[in-house]
Structure 1
């Protein structure tokens, strides 16, 4: 069995991965809060954005930022871009299904949250292992079954907790605390899954061909991270500003109506003098 390094570049990858997991979780909780205050298709749109934040930024980007620190010294590692893209779609879709199960109903229930957590957890763990299948190297990849089972269990529990936060959490401090807890859970699931990895370089295995190197993959991932985080943050802030402007306009309109109504009322006693 080959020697495996999970932190080939030191603390950079796990720290950046945790930051992405936290930012994605934080945005997802804020957007889920917007969804709870909306109805109809507007509620659905906020949930889709929440799924992109958690599934795309908090989970998928964290996974690939951390996995870029994975190295096997005795072989070159490259990444299949098609499988990598498919794993992104899988993560977002499964998180979206879980969010719609847990949050779309006006009154979320424990049954819906648990069901959504199971679906999302299985999807997130499947994303992890499908993302691992994107690795191309001169060897064979296998896993420790017990650790794989543990990673699925962590993913399901973490997803259920995340959906509970998305369905009921309120307040800034609670949202930040929830995002921190979710980030810890996402990172724990990832590194439990990585601990299950076994690499065998024995046998007649052809040399690595095709795919992208870690540094070639870093640029598009960095761009995607910036675009998703900035877009979702803009949507969140823009909604808040628009809502405040709408409230100000409503208050001004009411004040104007009260002023006009007061102007139409005759002064006390004026009516009596003309009788």
Structure 2
């Protein structure tokens, strides 16, 4: 028998809150990226936004949810290498999507290209994480649920990319982050509902128990979130940037007059 909440409902709110926080921080960083005129600086901020959305926003939620996944009377081990690869995929595909719509002039055709590509990549992240499982029972995925999860991922990432490039108000971004977190959870559990278990296998399984990955995952997530929060707090607001520009303009206008007076 398959259990999706073997630790009770605790993994649901934890995964949702982490996902919402990462998504919100990513949207806030993306807002700052839009203010950059230089392509190199804009790309740097977009990559940082992808790190927030793809890391805590998507992958950490997947990992937390997988802690509750269990097959009764079966042993499940995880490959650390494939687990880490799934995290890299999540960040990379979100970065690609943000760079496609964020460099140059924003357009709907660019969004319609970036959204599906990113969505398929997020689904690839999920199934790479599933491939990291080594079990002493046969496991497979039902095609209809796989298709549904990919469709949800495509729609969710397309909306997320649109939000990242259009929203300005901080309150709106937090509400959007909650919607994004809900969509990520929906994609994950839709895919997991399609998991089927067969008979036992005689091959030796390799890897570590999920509980052994909690400490490094939690530590890394905490560090990333703290760095992102520090970045968002220290980034100047639009009003501060306008004030700085006005002061610079005033100093520029007063400079020649001061020189002549001397």
TM-score between both structures, scaled by the size of structure 1: 0.87
The answer to whether the 8 A contact 2:138-2:201 is kept is no
Give, in whole Å, the separation in 1 of the partners of 2:94 and 2:121.
7
For the pair 1:36 / 2:44, whether they are aligned, the reply is no
Unaligned runs of 5+ in 1: 266-275
Q: How does 1:179-194 map to 2 (within 5 A)?
A: 179-194=177-192
Residue 255 of structure 1, CA deviation: 7.4
Give, in whole Å, the separation in 1 of the partners of 2:214 and 2:110.
37
Residue 203 of structure 1, CA deviation: 4.4
CA gap of 1:228–1:247, structure 2 versus 1, over 3 A, is same
Residue 227 of structure 1, CA deviation: 1.1
Unaligned runs of 5+ in 2: none
Q: How does 1:73-152 map to 2 (within 5 A)?
A: 73-105=72-104, 107-152=105-150
Cα RMSD, aligned residues only: 2.6
* Structure 2 equivalent of residue 239 of structure 1: 235
2:7 partner SS: coil
* Structure 2 equivalent of residue 272 of structure 1: none
Residue 249 of structure 1, CA deviation: 9.6
Give, in whole Å, the separation in 2 of the partners of 1:194 and 1:249.
52
* Structure 1 equivalent of residue 163 of structure 2: 165
Query: Aligned pair count?
Result: 260
The answer to whether the 8 A contact 1:150-1:192 is kept is yes
Residue 180 of structure 1, CA deviation: 1.0
Give, in whole Å, the separation in 1 of the partners of 2:255 and 2:118.
54
2:236 partner SS: helix
TM-score between both structures, scaled by the size of structure 2: 0.91
The answer to whether the 8 A contact 1:103-1:166 is kept is no
Structure showing greater Rg: 1
Residue 5 of structure 1, CA deviation: 0.3
1:40-74 alpha-carbon deviations (Å, 9 max, x no partner): 21100100001100111100111001111101121
Residue 206 of structure 1, CA deviation: 3.0
Residue 246 of structure 1, CA deviation: 9.5
* Structure 2 equivalent of residue 224 of structure 1: 220
Give, in whole Å, the separation in 1 of the partners of 2:135 and 2:5.
18
Residue 185 of structure 1, CA deviation: 0.6
1:127-185 alpha-carbon deviations (Å, 9 max, x no partner): 00110011111011101111110000000000000000011111112111111111111
